Amino acid sequence: MRLLATIAICLLSLAAVQAQKQPDANVNQLAALLQKHDDALNQHDLDGIMGVFAPSDKTVVMGTGPGERWQGKDEIRSAYAEIIKDFDKGTSTRECGWKTGEVAGDTAWLASMCKFADSKGGQKREYELNVSGVLRKINGKWYFQSLHYSNLTGGGSSGN
C-alpha cells in the first residue's frame, strides 16, 4: 500500500517540473493540486487527499498487481486509510528523473519514473515507481480522474 501513497508525491514532482518548463496557467494549477495532495498525504489528512479526486463514480486509482483497483470515493478513501498506516507521517521524499505531461483543454496527463524514500517505525525504505495520471478540469478546478502506479516485482531489469 505504501506504493500508492507515493504516487501523489511523484506526481507533485512531475507537475512542478512541467510548470517550470511551461508557463501555462493550467500547468501551474496542476502543480498546485499535486502539492495539495502531497501535503495532505504526508500529514495523513484523508479529507485533504480526497479533495483532489474528481467527484465521479468512474474516478479510479490503480496499483501494480491483480485486484489493485479502487474506484469511486469510498474505495479510494479506504485505500488511502490503509496507505497512511504504511509510512511515518511526514517522512516521504522523492526524486523523479524522467517526467512528462501535457494539458489539452479540460484534460491533462502526467507520467514519471521516480525514486522514493520513507520511514516506517524509524526504518528508512527506498523504492522506485512508474507513475501516470489523468486529470480533469471541472467547473474551472483540476481533479485527478485516474492515478496509476507500478513497480518492478520479482526480478528483471528496468529500461529507459
More confident position, 153 or 130: 130
Q: Residue 11: its pLDDT value, please?
A: 47
Does domain 2-150 match CATH 3.30.70.141?
A: no
pLDDT tens per residue across span 36-87: 877 888 899 999 999 999 999 999 999 888 889 999 999 999 999 999 999 9
Which residue type is seen at 47?
D
For 75-117, the pLDDT digits (tens) are 999 999 999 999 999 998 777 777 777 899 999 988 778 888 8
Q: What is the pLDDT of residue 1?
A: 58
Can you give the pLDDT at residue 150? 87
pTM: 0.76
Neighbours of 154 (CB within 10 A): 4
The three-state secondary structure class of 83 is helix
